[in-house]
Structures are given as C-alpha cells and as structure tokens.
Amino acid sequence: MVHGLTPYVPGEQPKLANLVKLNTNENPYGPSPKVIEAVRAEAADTLRLYPDPNSDRLRAGVAAYHGVAFGQVFVGNGSDEVLAHAFMALLKHEQPILFPDISYSFYPVYCGLYEIAHRTIPLTEQFEIRVDDYFVPNGGIIFPNPNAPTGRLLARAEIERLLAGNPDSVVVVDEAYIDFGGESAVPLVARHPQLLVIRTLSKSHALAGLRVGYAIGQPHLIEALVRVKDSFNSYPLDRFAQAGALASIEDHAYFESICAKVVATRTRLVAAMQALGFDVLPSAANFIFARHPAHEGAALAAALRERNIIVRHFRSPERIAPFLRITVGTDAQCDALVGALRALC
C-alpha cells in the first residue's frame, strides 16, 4: 500500500546565506518573550519525566481564550497531526468527502493514507469557494479558511449556510491563517454539533518550531479524536511545547501586535505588486497569491531564487501555475522582493 502513496511535499527549507525566505508562511517576527521564558523554565530535571499526556493546562488555556468548555478542546503536534486524526476518526465513510480542487495539498495525501474516498469541488473563476456546490451527498467536508494557497476568505455567514445544508456531515474548517484577517468559525460550534475547527500556533503565534495545533468541537467529536490519539501516541506534546504554547496564548497583546504588523505589511506589499502589473487575489492570510500577465510563475520564481529570494510556486493544478505564493515578511524583506521584481518585470 505505501508504495502507492504520494507524500505531501513541504516548502523548501534552504540553507543559504543572506536569504530572503518567503516560501513557507512562517511569521517574520519571533514569539512572545514570555514563550522563551516558559521554554527555558522547562529545561530542568523534570525532563526525565513524561509530559502530561492530556496537556490539561494548555487545553484549559485554549478553552479560556476561545470561551469554550475544557472538553471541547483537543491538542496535537501541529495542526497537521490534528488533521490526520480528524481524517481517520471523523471523515472515513462510504460517501466521498469533499474539499476544494485548489486547497491544502495534504488533504489528498491523508485520503490516500487512510483509504478515504474524496471528490474535489472546483473553485470559481475568481478562486472562491461556492457554498452551493457543497449541497450534495457526501461523507464530510473540509476546507481551509482562508483557503491555501489562494488566501481567499469564506465569510462566517457562508460557513453557517454550509453547515445548515449539511446537518449530517462532519464539517472541518482548517483555520491556520484566520488570525490575519477573518472571523473564526469557533462561535458556530455551540449550535452546530457536526463542526470541528482546527487551528495552529505555527503562523500567527510564531511557533512553527514548537509544533502545536488544536481542534475545537463539541465533546463527541473531541472524544473521537482522543481515541485515535491514544491508539497512536498517548504523549503527543512534550513539556517545551505545552509550556511555550500556553505562554503564547496568554500573551494576547503580543499576539495582536505581530498580527497587526503582518497585516500592515501585506497591504503595502499588495499595493507595490499591483503597481508592477501583478494580479493579486484578495488575501486574508499572511501570504499573497499573485501572477503577472507577461511572466510565467516558474520563471519568476527561478529568477528570484538567483537573487536569494525564495517564494513558493506550484506547477499543478495547471490553472495556478502562473501564480506565486509569497509569504508576507518584514517590511525590509518585502521591499527586497519588490525591488527584485521591479528589475525583472
């Protein structure tokens, strides 16, 4: 079976000097100083002991932050692990699950790994999710919001309309980028028992190196995730990850400040790219998706790499091949990008 799998290919992590790295949507700002303090405090004799297998303090912190009950929170090693558990526990049915044709490319990988039937739903010509297309028989629905790699946002009212039209299907909303410009679907969990919202601290909390993600849903969904977790890895988060994640969630002022910086730089970057003739999709994420009518995406990505600037290019599906996905870095990093593009375009 494994020989037939097509694994997910993550963004490149090149080891080059003086690199402007805008390809993996990492936060350009470091985590809260309180995170560093908390992680350092864990470097003690207690490392000889196993961590809390249930991450109770972290789950309580997440629950308090979102205003939900403790039993509505599940945590794991990054949102990818939480997603993997959701696919196995909640999305394996006779009917195929649905997700956008241009979306997070790990979804079909999970389907292959767990032998889950799936059907992709085309985005519109404007690369938007059209809710009406999901009112068909299905074994579940999953999509990122904002979508990746397009960055386009689905309004919370539209998510609620999708939920109302699919009362018997689990709907998973993957909110890896929601803090950069959208409304979370978490408030909908209280009145929609089929909704699971998955989030990560890698992007907006600048903790990609700690690998912490979580899910929020009604207790029956969380219990299903716990059963899978405890059948696979009963100690998913180490002491450093639990302590650092909790400190980050509790330092809300710092979190808001770095999100605001990213959003402000995104606005500057979009304006500069449009001035160079790029078509830029509306983005609610910490990246933009852009194409130039006179230049191929692959050629631009290669030319930028020669200038030590790394962006993400997807060769398939074919209709996104002209695009570049560009992480919003610091003002200085984005100015370097724009300067290089000005010379190229």
pTM above 0.85, yes or no: yes
Q: What confidence score (pLDDT) does residue 183 get?
A: 97
- Residues (pLDDT < 70) of the chain are 1-13, 15-17
Q: What is the pLDDT of residues 242-274, one digit of tens each?
A: 999 999 999 999 999 999 999 999 999 999 999
Q: Are residues 58 and 79 in the same domain?
A: yes
Q: Give how many domains the chain has, as a whole number.
A: 2
Say how far apart CA 338 and CA 60 lie, in whole Å: 43
Say how far apart CA 91 and CA 141 lie, in whole Å: 8
What's 314's domain CATH number?
A: 3.90.1150.10
Q: What confidence score (pLDDT) does residue 84 get?
A: 97
Q: What confidence score (pLDDT) does residue 262 get?
A: 98
Q: What confidence score (pLDDT) does residue 316 get?
A: 84
- As a whole-number percent, the residues of the chain with pLDDT over 90 amount to 92
Q: What confidence score (pLDDT) does residue 3 get?
A: 60
Q: What confidence score (pLDDT) does residue 231 get?
A: 94
Domain carrying residue 265: 2-30+253-344
What's 96's domain CATH number?
A: 3.40.640.10
Q: Are residues 313 and 167 in the same domain?
A: no
Q: Are residues 327 and 313 in the same domain?
A: yes
| Per-residue DSSP letter, 141 | E
Q: What confidence score (pLDDT) does residue 317 get?
A: 85
Q: What confidence score (pLDDT) does residue 29 get?
A: 97
Say how far apart CA 203 and CA 219 lie, in whole Å: 26
The DSSP annotation for 169-205 comes to: S-EEEE-TTGGGT---SGGGGGG-TTEEEEEESSSTT
Say how far apart CA 6 and CA 105 lie, in whole Å: 11
Element (DSSP H or E) covering residue 310: strand 309-313
Best CA proximity match to 272, nearest among 204, 203, 206, 329: 329
Best CA proximity match to 311, nearest among 294, 331, 332, 291: 291
Domain boundary among 232, 251, 270: 251
